[in-house]
């Protein structure tokens, strides 16, 4: 059995108003794949979260940088106190961005008085 570590709870995820999509990236080259991307929650490819305790060493004394897994040191995302643009086009400030493709979602289900983890 794999030994996993919880990185953040759903209560740490910050919601944001969906941006204007590809038009928000007009200053960059817009590719065909950008035009094909749909709208809605799948448009956002990252979670923007409140800073959590395991991030503290990375945040001390710097204004931006990478967020690495505290267990295996793989890159999970990035942070910037000035903000970052979400894939939907919305600017999030400050930004503690975790790429959805880099983490697994684990849900806790309550069954009577027992709690069962579902991954």
- The range of the structural domain enclosing residue 96 comes to 10-118
Residue 2 in domain: no
* DSSP strands (E only) in 22-82: 46-48, 64-68, 75-80
Distance CA 8, CA 10 (A): 7
Asked if residue 5 is part of any domain, the answer here is no
Q: Considering the domain boundaries, does residue 1 fall inside one?
A: no
Taking the complete model, does pTM exceed 0.75, yes or no? no
Instruction: Please count the structural domains in the chain.
Output: 1
Over residues 70-114, the pLDDT tens digits come to 999 999 999 999 999 999 989 999 999 999 999 998 877 666 665
The rounded distance, in Å, linking the Cα atoms of 38 and 45 is: 12
């Amino acid at each position: 059995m794999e030994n996993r570590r919880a990185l953040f709870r759903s209560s740490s995820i910050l919601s944001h108003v969906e941006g204007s999509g590809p038009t928000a990236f007009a200053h960059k080259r817009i590719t065909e794949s950008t035009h094909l991307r749909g709208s809605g929650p799948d448009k956002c490819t990252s979670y923007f979260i409140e800073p959590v305790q395991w991030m503290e060493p990375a945040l001390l004394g710097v204004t931006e940088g990478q967020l690495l897994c505290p267990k295996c040191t793989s890159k999970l995302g990035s942070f910037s106190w000035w903000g970052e643009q979400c894939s939907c086009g919305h600017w999030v400030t400050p930004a503690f961005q975790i790429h959805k493709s880099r983490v697994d979602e684990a849900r806790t289900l309550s069954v009577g008085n027992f709690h069962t983890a579902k991954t």
